[in-house]
Amino acid sequence: MTTYRSYFEVKKALQKKRTSCLEITQNYLNRISKSSNLNAFVEVYSDESLFQAKQVDKKISKGKAGKLAGLVFAIKDNICYKGHKVSAGSKILKGFESLFTATAVQKLLDQDAIIIGRLNCDEFGMGSANENTIYGAVKNPYNDSKVAGGSSGGSAAAVSAGLCLVALGSDTGGSIRQPASFCGIVGLKPTYSRVSRHGLIAYASSFDQIGPLANNVDDASLVLEVIAGADNFDSTVSRRKPENYSRANFDNKPKKIAYISECLDREGLDPEIKEFLKCKISQLKKKGHSVDPISLPELDLLVPVYYIISTAEASSNLARFDGVHYGYRSESAADLENTYINSRTEGFGEEVKRRIMLGTFVLSADYHDSYFTKAQKIRRLIQNKTKAMFEKYDFIISPTTPHTAFSIGKKHTNPTTMYLEDIFTVQANLAGNPAISLPLAKHSNGMPIGLQVMANNFKEGDMLSFSKYLSD
C-alpha cells in the first residue's frame, strides 16, 4: 500500500477512489506496529481511529466531509484528548485521563482529520533529546542510535518515519523546530497567541505554543489554517482572524533577509552547517534578494534568560501536581506534608525537579530582583530588538541547530550542554515571533540539516510562502 507523504496525495487518491480513509488508517497502524523500535508512540488508538475512518468514508460518499478528511494525525503526550490518558511523559500523571479536548485537537477533528494516538515527549516538555521521559528515549528514524530531539521527539519521529501524516507538538524554547531539524521534516512554531493553548499542559505559559510537524510546508500551512484563531477557553489567544495560509503564494518580489552574524560565527557551530548557511545566503543573493548580516550581541544571554523565566513559570505551573488532587500519590504518604514531599519527589523526574528548584530559587525574595526581574528586562530588550529587526527585514534565517542529531545518552548527564541546544531557536520564543524549520540539506554523516526562518509577529502567511519558495 502507498505511503502518502502529503495531504495533496491523500486527497487526490480519495477523490479518484484509489483508496479509502479506512485503508489509509490501517496502513499507518501497520507501519506503527513495524516501527515500535523508534518508541515514538506511547498509545495507539487502533480501534478508535479505524471507527473514525469508517465514519469519514461515509461523509465523503455523501459529499459532506471536512477539509481534512483522510488526514491522519497524532498528538504529543502533553495535549489533552477527552476520555484518553495524558501524562506529559511523567510518573506524576500516571493513569490520569483528560476531562476535555484541547481546542487545537478539536478543530482538527471537526474537519474530519483522524487521530491515531499520542506521542512520546520529554517530561512536561523539558528536554532537547526526548530522553527525559518515563517511556524511554525516542530514536531517530535516520539512525536509531541518535536522538530524535525534544521535547516533541515522538511527534518528529512519527512524521519522519511515516507513522502519521501530521503531528501536533508544543514549542517552548524550540521543542518543535529542533526535533523537526534532527528528523528531516518541517516544524512550525506560530506567533505566540496565534493558536489556543487550551488543553496544553503548561510548562511555561508565556512561551508555550502548539504547532504542527509535517513532511512539507503545504501540510503545515493547512493544519495551521485550521487550528489558528480565537478561542473563548484561552484568554491569551489573539482574536485576529487567521489568513488562508494554505493558499499563500510567493510573490516573486525581492526580499530583505537578515542573518545574525553571531550565529554564523559562533564557536561550536558544525562546519558543514556553517557552509550550508553561507551557500544558502549566496543562492538567495544570486536570485536578487538582499541578505545582510545583523548583530545581536545578546545572543549568549538568550539561553540564560529563557531558563530563568521559563523555570520560574514552571515552578508555579507544576505546583498543582501535589499528590492530593489527581495523578501519582506516594504509597508512603502519612500526612499532608509527607504527601506533598514524597509524591513530588517520587513522581517528578530529575530534570523536572532541577527546573522546579531553579525556578523556585529565582523567585525567592532574596534573589527575585537579581535574577527574575533582570531576566524580564533583558527579555523586553530582546523583544524590542527583534521588533526593530523586522522593521527593516522580511525574514531572519539561521541554522535551526548548531549540529545534527547526537548519540542517545551523549549529553543526558550534562544539563548545561543540553540547554545550549536552544541557542538558535529560543529568540523566537522570547520575542513571541513565528519561526519554522525546513529540511533543506543533508550532512555528510547522513543526518538532516534544518534551516530556520523567523518572521514578524502574525506574518505566518509571508513566512510560509517564503518557506515554500526555499523548499522548491
Q: Tell me which residues are annotated as active site.
A: 76, 151, 175
To which H or E segment does residue 453 belong? strand 448-455
- Spatial neighbors of 49 by CB under 8 A, at least 6 apart, are 25, 28, 29, 72, 114, 115, 116, 117
To which H or E segment does residue 300 belong? helix 299-317
Q: Phi/psi of residue 113, each to 5°?
A: -70, 155
Answer for the pair 6, 215: CB distance below 8 angstroms, yes or no.
yes
Answer for the pair 448, 439: CB distance below 8 angstroms, yes or no.
yes
CB-based burial, 274-289: b 16+ in 10 Å, e otherwise: bebbeebbeebeeeeb
Helix (H, G, I), strand (E, B) or coil at 318: helix
Question: What is the amino acid identity at position 443?
Answer: H
Answer for the pair 324, 290: CB distance below 8 angstroms, yes or no.
no
Q: DSSP for 329-341?
A: --TT--SHHHHHH
To which H or E segment does residue 293 belong? strand 290-294
Q: DSSP for 98-124?
A: -SS--HHHHHHHHTT-EEEEEE--SGG
Question: What is the amino acid identity at position 376?
Answer: Q
- C-alpha 217, offset from chain centre: 15
